[in-house]
């Protein structure tokens, strides 16, 4: 039986800000589905020794070990709008936190609670749809990115997003050219966007996604 609009709306709300037991299940599902996007984004990010990485929207943070093993002496900071995800990520990664290699903080989705130029690398996957003021948020990202730093955005293509019933509820779709223009307005230098496809299993379908990198001079 097809899902009702109320059911799709509930799914969209959990994708935006997972909470409770359902949110924990959604986070595990997103972790599996986002792995190809994460792999491509990390390849573009080119993490190096002593990098200070901020990830916006890490969910339950189950991928942290993969990230930290990419470069020695790397420090990771996660920022999520879901209190439950921050708590889950801290619990799952308690060992890394105890070593001082990582931390997870709660954000408000509007500003970044960090100092200017604090991070050498920044990453966010499947969060751009939820930014209420995308140009302003990108300006915040540029503010906390250090000179010579790199930002990588990974997100579903507008065509794919338009095919998803849940995207009618609170999802904003952006063409890569639009995001690149806003990035240039912040002073960042976007690279040509890269387009990839992967195969989702629930339900089975081909997803097209974009990886867009931008550097700060």
CATH number for the domain spanning 196: value is 3.40.50.150
pLDDT tens track for 83-111: 999 999 999 999 999 999 999 999 999 99
d(CA 208, CA 85): 26
Rg (CA), the chain: 17
- Does pTM surpass 0.85? yes
3-state secondary structure of 206: strand
Query: By residue range, what is the domain housing residue 21?
Result: 5-216
| Structural domains in the chain (count) | 1
At 26-60, the pLDDT tens digits run 778 788 888 999 999 999 999 999 999 999 999 99
Q: How far apart are CA 101 and CA 73, in angstroms?
A: 8
Distance, in Å, from the CA atom of 131 to the CA atom of 171, rounded to the nearest integer, reads 9
Six-digit token pair at 12? Answer: 């969209």
Range in 1-15, 123-137, 149-163 the model is least confident about: 1-15
For 101-142, write each residue's pLDDT tens digit. 999 999 999 999 999 999 999 999 999 999 999 999 999 999
């Amino acid at each position: 039986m097809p899902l009702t609009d109320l059911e799709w709306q509930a799914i969209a709300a959990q994708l935006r800000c997972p909470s409770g037991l359902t949110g924990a299940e959604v986070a595990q599902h997103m972790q599996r589905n986002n792995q190809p996007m994460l792999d491509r984004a990390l390849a573009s990010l080119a993490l190096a020794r002593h990098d200070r990485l901020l990830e916006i929207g890490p969910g339950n943070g189950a991928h942290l070990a993969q990230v930290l093993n990419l470069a020695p002496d790397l420090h990771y900071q996660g920022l999520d709008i879901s209190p439950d995800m921050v708590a889950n990520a801290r619990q799952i990664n308690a060992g890394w936190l105890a070593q001082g290699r990582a931390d997870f903080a709660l954000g408000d989705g509007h500003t970044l609670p960090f100092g200017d130029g604090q991070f050498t690398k920044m990453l966010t996957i499947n969060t751009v749809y939820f930014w209420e003021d995308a140009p302003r948020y990108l300006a915040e990202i540029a503010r906390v990115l250090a000179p010579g730093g790199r930002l990588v955005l990974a997100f579903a293509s507008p065509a794919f997003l338009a095919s998803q019933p849940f995207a009618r509820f609170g999802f904003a779709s952006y063409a890569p050219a639009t995001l690149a223009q806003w990035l240039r307005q912040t002073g960042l230098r976007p690279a040509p966007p890269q387009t990839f496809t992967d195969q989702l299993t629930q339900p089975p379908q081909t997803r097209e996604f974009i990886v867009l990198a931008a550097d700060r001079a």
